[in-house]
Amino acid sequence: MLTSQHKIPGLILNNHTFELPLDYANPGKTISVFAREVIAPDKEDANQPYLVFFQGGPGSGSPRPMGASGWIKRALKDYRVLLLDQRGTGLSAPLTAQTLRAMPNAQAQADYIMHFRADNIVRDAEAIRAQLGGGKPWSILGQSYGGFCSLRYLSAAPEGLKEVFITGGVPSLTRAAEEIYRATYPRVIAKNAEYYARYPEDIALVQELVRHLQVNEVMLPSGGRLTAQRFLQLGLQFGMSDGYEAIHYLLEEAWVTGADGKREINWNFLVHFEHLQSFETNPIYCLLQDGCYTQKAAGRWAADRVLKEFPEFALDRKDRVLFTGEMVFAWQFDTYPQLKPLKAAAELLAQTDAWPMLYDVEKLKQNRVPIAAAVYYDDMYVHREFQDETAQIVPNMKLWHTNEYEHNGLRADGEKILGRLIGMVRGEI
């Protein structure tokens, strides 16, 4: 179980690997699940309780700590932190086009991928709790999609939890994917308006780039083609506190004058553009985006279907072209080189209604585990009103509404945010 230990300034890191069932209903085949235990050097021998971190995504590995800072610094005052690489991410049976090549066909890939949702992430956590935590209830912190995992945990195994902290990730318990996108597209429109109000010169610049990409083949350094639609997915950054600046400074270097005296897209821009997108390195994000919401229903490319209800996103608009947000579209599996091999599996996943229920609403209505959640008032990714709706259903949940932070609040000011949530659970706030 304990595979290695490292010590860096301010932290002791214990690396654990667990062999756990791929399918808990039919044990047999196993996968390796990795978790990194973080301990304050002066508390190595202390009997501290665990705080398990559920990362956002889906499809992102847990943070790789560089030192005692941010929310980890605050957590280590009271806990040992367990940074769980959710199955399919990081060092936990990574799920990519490269690793899925071992599957005989698309159906086998789709069947395999269906085991990588929040329901099985929670089952992994419970198995690890039995081995590492001695069966004692532990505390959890869920960021964004990690909050979805937290509500699943409360629904499936509340006896394993002492307290729950959530940042920007209280999910709707009942709403379909279509309803989610119907609520979040207007927030993306509002974020575009804020962006262009801050950088009005970018209106013409974005229009020029979109027109150029529609009629010219522009290849990215890694080999994929930069299409207008792919370019506009940069709007994913707009939900972060530094997102507007990240995109504006990128666009400042979009053009250079080539050897023939004509303007052409800057190679440096293309390199930096690729670094802002992780759809290929974290394909679970695209494969299971609708699967985050679907319960006994098929997603059927919900974001694509709902987009047709919002003509504001048309590419030929004369006033301004809008960026999209965190939505996933079917065309991505024709555009991104590392997603193309997964197109058939993605289509099978989009059309199946065999997704198990994620949340037991009746059980959650009886919740006794204390929950404190930061709800970001202007959150572009997780609809504020739906978070409030869930809090009305689940007792013992305290919400902290704030417009001081965007969705990346835990990364931007984690020490303060986690400290406040801990105070809320303890009745100090």
Show pLDDT as tens, one digit a residue, over the chain (429 residues): 778 999 999 999 999 999 999 999 999 999 999 999 999 999 998 989 999 999 999 999 999 999 999 999 999 999 999 999 999 999 999 999 999 999 999 999 999 999 999 999 999 999 999 999 788 999 999 999 999 999 999 999 999 999 999 999 999 999 999 999 999 999 999 999 999 999 999 999 999 999 999 999 999 999 999 999 999 999 999 999 999 999 999 999 999 998 888 899 999 999 999 999 999 999 999 999 999 999 999 999 999 999 999 999 999 998 999 999 999 999 999 999 999 999 999 999 999 999 999 999 999 999 999 999 999 999 999 999 999 999 999 999 999 999 999 999 999 999 999 999 999 999 998
DSSP string, 351-403: H---PPP---HHHHTT--S-EEEEEETT-SSS-HHHHHHHHHHSTTEEEEEES
Q: Which residue has the tokens 């429109």?
A: 189
* Cα-based distances in Å from 225 to 216, 228, 233, 263: 10, 10, 14, 19
B/e letters for 331-347, b = 16+ CB within 10 Å, e = fewer, are ebbebbebbebbeebbe
Identify whether 304 is a catalytic site residue.
no
pLDDT value, residue 2: 76
Whether 144 is catalytic is yes
Domain 2-174+359-425 architecture: 3-Layer(aba) Sandwich (3.40)
User: Can you say whether the dihedral through the CA atoms of 401, 407, 413, 414 is positive or negative?
Assistant: positive
Structure tokens at 63: 């943070």
Q: Please identify which of the residues 92, 150, 379, 383 carries the catalytic annotation.
A: 379
Helix (H) / strand (E) containing 36? strand 30-39
- Is 401 catalytic? The answer is no
- Residue 207 has phi, psi (to 5 degrees) of -60, -45
Overall pTM surpassing 0.85 (yes/no): yes
Rg for the chain (alpha carbons), in Å? Answer: 22
Give kind and range of the element (H or E) at residue 53.
strand 50-54
pLDDT of amino acid 47: 87
Listed by start position, the domains of the chain span 2-174+359-425, 177-351
- Could you say which of 144, 150, 155, 172 is catalytic? 144
For the residues of 99-148, what is the DSSP string, one character each?
Answer: HHTTSSSHHHHHHHHTT-SHHHHHHHHHHHHHHHSTT--EEEEEETHHHH
Beta carbons within 10 angstroms of residue 25's beta carbon:
9
What is the pLDDT at residue 133? 75
User: CB under 8 Å to 279, separation ≥6 — which residues?
Assistant: 233, 285, 286, 332, 336, 339
| Cβ-contact 346, 290 below 8 angstroms | no
**Neighbouring C-beta atoms of residue 69, cutoff 10 Å:** 13
Q: How many helices (H) and strands (E) does the chain have?
A: 17, 11
User: Taking a C-beta distance cutoff of 8 angstroms, is the pair 208, 428 a contact?
Assistant: no
